[in-house]
Amino acid sequence: MERCPSSALVYKDGQMTEAAVPENTVTVIYQGPYYLKGDLAIEQSPDDMPGTEFRAALCRCGLSKNKPFYDNSHDGQFKDYGAVGETGEPLMEMGGKLNITPLKDGPLLL
C-alpha cells in the first residue's frame, strides 16, 4: 500500500511501517494530478487516511468531488498545455515538513 500514490489504500488494522522519504517532491502528471511524496502536512486530510502524511495525489483541475484529493472527476474536461515558465533555483536545503493549504475554489499553497 505504500506504493499507492494517492493514499486511497489504507491498512485495515491501522498498522503502518511507512516513513517520509528524505526529500519532498511534487510531480505534475500530464492531464492528471500532482503526486506528492515526503513529509506532508495536508490541511483537511482525514484522520482515516494516515498515508497522506507521506504521499498523496492532489487535484489540479478543480473538478474533484473530494478536494484537495484527486478523484479523476475531470474525465477529459481538463486541458494540460505543458510546461509554463522557467525552472526555479535548486533547493538549498532538504527535509522538513511540506505544508499544503487548499484555498477555497483556488490553488494549493505549498
pLDDT tens for 73-91 read 887 788 888 777 777 787 7
φ, ψ dihedrals at 28, nearest 5°: -90, 120
Q: What per-residue confidence (pLDDT) applies to 98? A: 93
| CA dist., res. 70 & res. 36, Å (int) | 12
User: Which of 71, 84, 83, 7 shows the shortest CA–CA distance to 38?
Assistant: 7
Q: What per-residue confidence (pLDDT) applies to 41? A: 94
Q: How do residues 48-71 score in pLDDT, each as one tens digit?
A: 787 789 999 999 888 888 889 998
Q: What per-residue confidence (pLDDT) applies to 51? A: 79
- Residue whose entry in the numeric block shows the C-alpha cell 513529509: 39
| CA dist., res. 63 & res. 13, Å (int) | 32
40-42: strand order across its sheet = 40-42, 98-102, 108-109
Q: What per-residue confidence (pLDDT) applies to 97? A: 93
| pLDDT band at residue 22 using 50, 70 and 90 as cut-offs | confident
Element containing residue 44 per DSSP (H, E): none
Task: Quote the number of domains for the chain.
Answer: 1
pLDDT of 40 higher than 90? yes
The whole-chain average pLDDT of the chain stands at 82
Q: What per-residue confidence (pLDDT) applies to 20? A: 85
- The whole-number average pLDDT for the span 26-51 is 88
Parallel, antiparallel or unpaired: strands 55-58 and 34-37: antiparallel
Domain of residue 109, residue span: 1-110
Assigned C-alpha cell, 106:
483556488
